[in-house]
Amino acid sequence: MVNEILTADVLVVGGGTGGTAAAIQSARRGAKTILVSEFPMLGGMLTSAGVSVPDGNEVLAFQTGLWGAFLRELQQRQPGGLDNSWVSFFSYDPRIGAEIFADWVRELPNLRWISGQVPKEVLLIGNSVTGVRFADFTVKAKIILDGTELGEILEQADVPYRWGWELQSEWGEPSAPVDFNFLTQRYPVQAPTWVAIMQDFGESMAAEIPPAPNYDPSKFAGAWDEYGSLKFLNYGRLPGGLFMINWPICGNDYGEGVGRLLESEQAKSDFLRECRYHSQNFAHFIQNQLGRRYGLAENVFPSLLYGGGNSVPTGFALHPYYRESRRLIGLTTVREQDILPVDGGTVASLNLDAIAVGNYANDHHYPGVKFDLQPKSIRWGGRWTGTPFTIPYHCLIPRETDGLLVCEKNISVSHIANGATRLQPVVMGIGQAAGMAAAMCVELNLEPRDLPVRMLQLALLEDKYSPQAIVPLFNLLPNHTDWLHWQLYYLNNPEAYPTTGNCDYHARPKQDDYVGKNTPTLRNSNFFTGIFQRIAPQDYRFAILTPPQNQGQKCELVTLASHIDSLLEACLHEQPLQVWGRLNQQGNWILVEHLSGQTQ
């Protein structure tokens, strides 16, 4: 294939979360698509970067599109289920996640996947991107998508981008600094993390984890003091006695000289080596403190040569979890104001050109520094979640360059707002929308900037494989008969969009309305009886009476479904209750899927 020229309708560069979703959606729409990835595992943050404990879009109504399909496939394939950690409702073996994406790709004869390649040069005619040269071949396509982890295509095509902080004077963002300072200079972007997967070897003794160069145990001192060692490990617990080590408190976030990622290939290689060594040293510290029962997991990731021919042990992810990238200067920019709740409400304002939904709380990582942001969290379903917001289509489009869309953390977004838009489900939604847009641009012979947004929105809402929500509505699922009607109604009448995020339909839904392909099945639930206790609004406890092995245990009651949320809100303090759900011992909660008592 050396020096071969390949042609396609759509070329996706980068097999991360957004790029994988974009390629699958583009091909499902019918476009001849080529996906070129650096790594042999597709999925990026969700798989090859090891963050298989994803955050955000956990509410059932937001489990739509490819994100929802991915969760449902995981529920079918993952032995032991997804209720393993306390930081997320979904944790799984990254190998299974990668298998799902690979299977989806194999099902599409018009999608060709080539791995082990990185872009070397972007081909341009005037202001239009026409192709990308790799080491062994060149791909020419009508539409190119930048799905790389660090926005490599933006750099190589000389497309204007942002890197670093914006001051408050730029857009009036309430959490932005007034002046550049020590923090903005030391950490121009959020710190990446090179995730390690550790394992509980039980009675067997794990292999010793050697310290890497510059080991300093004082860097990790007190990492889990506020939690205890077991709770620390269970933060990212995976099935099969595995633990995802992605710990922000004196842990393996690494941002020393993070600007080197953009300086040169040698500087980038130096930073990546230090980042991986830092994670190895944290894993060594954990083993040294907690014993040889815990060691690096074996064969979770394929063996890989990285940076000067050094082999990365298979217990470490294939690449860092990058929280921030080069960020496009696009036709519009997502700012902090666009993700914050409206006055007196629990949702952000609705973008008329919305193409994806997110709801994660704004979260920034700077090692050793606590950075406070404007709160955007709410209590819902018995626990904390984030204010829903929308991603506009025009933040995927460069101001001047044609033939190009972005589909990763490289969208046009402020440094502050990136803390909420960078999460896996949001990026997967962005990727799905970008892939759909690219295929439609080929069909209609249009540039991305000329594609009518409403056509794109309809295509996403009516996709025959994985319809994707455009408007965040807590209480309406895609399998509800009126879902499409209300999505379009609020797009056509944005002034009517409720600040509660609850669809204003008159017929109150019944539990039976929510039984279908997009809802969990009760066959995986357990039955509990007990006494309901109301601690505060959206804060519930449950004193378990049966089954006998759990008698006397007090745990939280939480839910991802709006009809259960309404029923829990109506429960009386100290009333008897029957609950069907799944007990998560790590988080000490029951994820309620059905209940009965005096509320019905």
Residue pair 144/129 in contact (Cβ under 8 Å)? The answer is yes
Q: Give CA angle at 448 (456, 44), nearest 5°.
A: 80
Residue 387: pLDDT band (50, 70, 90) is very high
Q: What is the 3-state secondary structure (H, E, C) of 288-313?
A: HHHCCCEEECCCCCCCEECCCCCEEC
* Shared domain check, 154 and 23: yes
Report how far apart, in Å, the C-alpha atoms of 511 and of each of 154, 469, 473 are.
48, 21, 17
Domain end: 412, 443, 471, which one? Answer: 471
User: Over the stretch 45-63, which tens digit does the pLDDT of each residue have?
Assistant: 999 999 999 999 999 999 9
In a domain, 174, yes or no: no
In a domain, 305, yes or no: yes
* Shared domain check, 207 and 82: no
Taking each helix axis from N to C end, the angle separating 483-492 and 453-461, rounded to the nearest 10 degrees, works out to 160
* Shared domain check, 140 and 27: yes
Give the pair of three-digit tokens for residue 164: 């670093």
pLDDT-above-90 percentage for the chain:
91
More confident residue, 521 or 549: 549
> What pLDDT does residue 585 have?
92
> What pLDDT does residue 123 have?
98
In a domain, 483, yes or no: no
Residue pair 320/189 in contact (Cβ under 8 Å)? The answer is no
Radius of gyration, CA atoms only, the chain? 24
> What pLDDT does residue 525 have?
82
In a domain, 569, yes or no: yes
Give the domain CATH number at 454.
Answer: 3.50.50.60
> What pLDDT does residue 49 have?
98
Domain that holds residue 210: 196-312
Residue 507 pLDDT more than 60?
Answer: no
In a domain, 530, yes or no: yes
Out of 74-83, 246-255, 335-344, 589-598, least confident range: 589-598
The Cα 52–Cα 91 span in angstroms is: 6
Strand ranges (E), 285-373: 294-296, 304-305, 311-312, 327-328, 354-358
What single letter denotes the amino acid at residue 567? L
Residue 31: pLDDT band (50, 70, 90) is very high
Residue pair 442/403 in contact (Cβ under 8 Å)? The answer is no
* Shared domain check, 335 and 296: no
In a domain, 480, yes or no: no
The Cα 223–Cα 434 span in angstroms is: 40
Residue 1 pLDDT more than 70?
Answer: no
The Cα 489–Cα 564 span in angstroms is: 25
In a domain, 318, yes or no: no
CA within 13 Å, CB half, 543: 10
| H/E stretch holding 125 | strand 121-125
* Shared domain check, 147 and 76: yes
Give the domain CATH number at 570.
Answer: 2.40.50.140
Residue 522 pLDDT more than 60?
Answer: no
> What pLDDT does residue 311 have?
55
Residue 115 pLDDT more than 60?
Answer: yes
Average pLDDT of span 309-320: 78
Residue 141 pLDDT more than 90?
Answer: yes
Give the pair of three-digit tokens for residue 269: 């290689």
Give the pair of three-digit tokens for residue 355: 């193409």
Residue 598 pLDDT more than 60?
Answer: no
Provide CB contacts within 8 A for 495, sequence distance 6+.
none
> What pLDDT does residue 444 have?
98
Average pLDDT of span 422-430: 98
The Cα 46–Cα 65 span in angstroms is: 16
Structural domains counted in the chain: 3
CA diameter of the chain: 73
Give the pair of three-digit tokens for residue 236: 């990212």
Place of tokens 């245990």: 553
* Shared domain check, 205 and 157: no
Residue 209 pLDDT more than 70?
Answer: yes
Residue 409: pLDDT band (50, 70, 90) is very high
User: Over the stretch 299-314, which tens digit does the pLDDT of each residue have?
Assistant: 999 976 555 555 556 7
* Shared domain check, 136 and 28: yes
* Shared domain check, 142 and 64: yes
Place of tokens 């932005």: 176
Mean residue pLDDT of the chain comes to: 93
> What pLDDT does residue 600 have?
38
In a domain, 458, yes or no: yes
The Cα 254–Cα 278 span in angstroms is: 7
* Shared domain check, 378 and 293: no
Provide CB contacts within 8 A for 470, sequence distance 6+.
354, 355, 356, 357, 390, 457, 460, 461, 487, 491
**Residues in the chain, overall count:** 600
* Shared domain check, 16 and 96: yes
* Shared domain check, 301 and 257: yes
* Shared domain check, 384 and 283: no
Establish whether the linkage from the previous residue to 94 is cis, with ω within 30° of 0: no
**Ordered alpha helix ranges (H), 346-401:** none
